[in-house]
Chains A and B, each alone.
Chain A
Amino acid sequence: QVQLQESGPGLVKPSETLSLTCIVSGGSINSYYWNWIRQPPGKGLEWIGYIYYTGSTNYNPSLKSRVTMSLDTSKNQFSLRLSSVTVADTAVYYCARPSVAGRFDFDSWGQGTLVTVSS
């Protein structure tokens, strides 16, 4: 059973860049679409984007200008960078993987990490 674990700073200042990493264990990163999803406090889920194991990416159009995803196959991990953050970017950030390669329903999730944007 694959396990995902997010890591990164819990506090980021406005206008700075949010950086998170998702460590994948119990399975190889060399397949699947690897996703980031966020959830502002008390609100619903928002898909941020994915990076495919080949390195190709697809981002939510509403965030595309500020998002960069990358992966490190040697460390079995992938990363999210979100630039020019504002308080509206305060959220729990999850990494997630689809249940089957080629599908887009997520059966594997990290536990989530709260990132607060505040000066």
Chain B
Amino acid sequence: EVVLTQSPGTLSLSPGDRVTLACRASQSVSSNFLAWYQQKPGQAPRLLIYGASTRATGIPDRFSGSGSGADFTLTISRLEPEDFAVYYCQYWETFGQGTKLEIK
């Protein structure tokens, strides 16, 4: 079973900052099945990225994903106020534990 470890657990940032979130798998995985989600309080997760680097429908281009093998990243080029949320990576049935972006 693949284990996904996200880092850091929490990040305190300001609007306009650039941020990169990490997701490390316990073994090499196919990037075809690596996804990223955003979740805000009281809402269902929202698909941001699939196939490690393809933005889902309607996702702004400030969100980008990259990586291969066991190491993947989600980058937000310039944080907007609505981007402060929890982010999860996923590989098949496994989710990472999440990274929380909070306003500094």
The answer to whether A105 and B45 touch (CB under 8 A), given A44-B88, A47-B94, A47-B95, is no
Interface size of A in residues (CB-CB distance below 8 Å): 18
The answer to whether A45 and B45 touch (CB under 8 A), given A104-B33, A104-B93, A107-B56, is yes
| B56-A94 in contact (CB<8A) | no
| B47-A106 in contact (CB<8A) | yes
- The distance in angstroms between the C-alpha atoms of A92 and B79, with both chains bound, is 28
| B47-A107 in contact (CB<8A) | yes
The smallest C-beta distance from A88 to any residue of chain B, in angstroms, reads 17
The interface-forming segment of A13-21, A65-73, A76-84, A109-117 is A109-117
User: Contact mask B25-59 → A, CB, 8 Å, 1/0?
Assistant: 00000000101010000011111001100001100
Q: Which residues of A contact B45 (CB under 8 A)?
A: 45, 94, 106, 109
- The distance in angstroms between the C-alpha atoms of A104 and B98, with both chains bound, is 18
- The distance in angstroms between the C-alpha atoms of A104 and B33, with both chains bound, is 7
Q: Which residues of A contact B46 (CB under 8 A)?
A: 109
| B47-A44 in contact (CB<8A) | no
- The distance in angstroms between the C-alpha atoms of A112 and B98, with both chains bound, is 18
- The distance in angstroms between the C-alpha atoms of A110 and B44, with both chains bound, is 7
The answer to whether A99 and B93 touch (CB under 8 A), given A45-B88, A94-B44, A104-B33, is no
The smallest C-beta distance from A6 to any residue of chain B, in angstroms, reads 10
The smallest C-beta distance from A83 to any residue of chain B, in angstroms, reads 21
| B44-A111 in contact (CB<8A) | yes
The smallest C-beta distance from A37 to any residue of chain B, in angstroms, reads 8
Q: Chain B: residues with CB nearer than 8 A to chain A?
A: 1, 33, 35, 37, 43-47, 50-51, 56-57, 88, 90, 92-98
Kindly list 11 other residue pairs between chains A and B, CB separation below 8 angstroms, not including A45-B98, A96-B44, A104-B92.
A44-B98, A45-B88, A47-B94, A60-B93, A99-B47, A104-B90, A104-B93, A105-B33, A105-B47, A105-B51, A105-B90
Q: Chain A: residues with CB nearer than 8 A to chain B?
A: 44-47, 60-61, 94, 96, 99, 103-107, 109-112
5 closest pairs, A vs B, by CB?
Answer: A105-B35, A109-B44, A105-B50, A47-B93, A45-B95
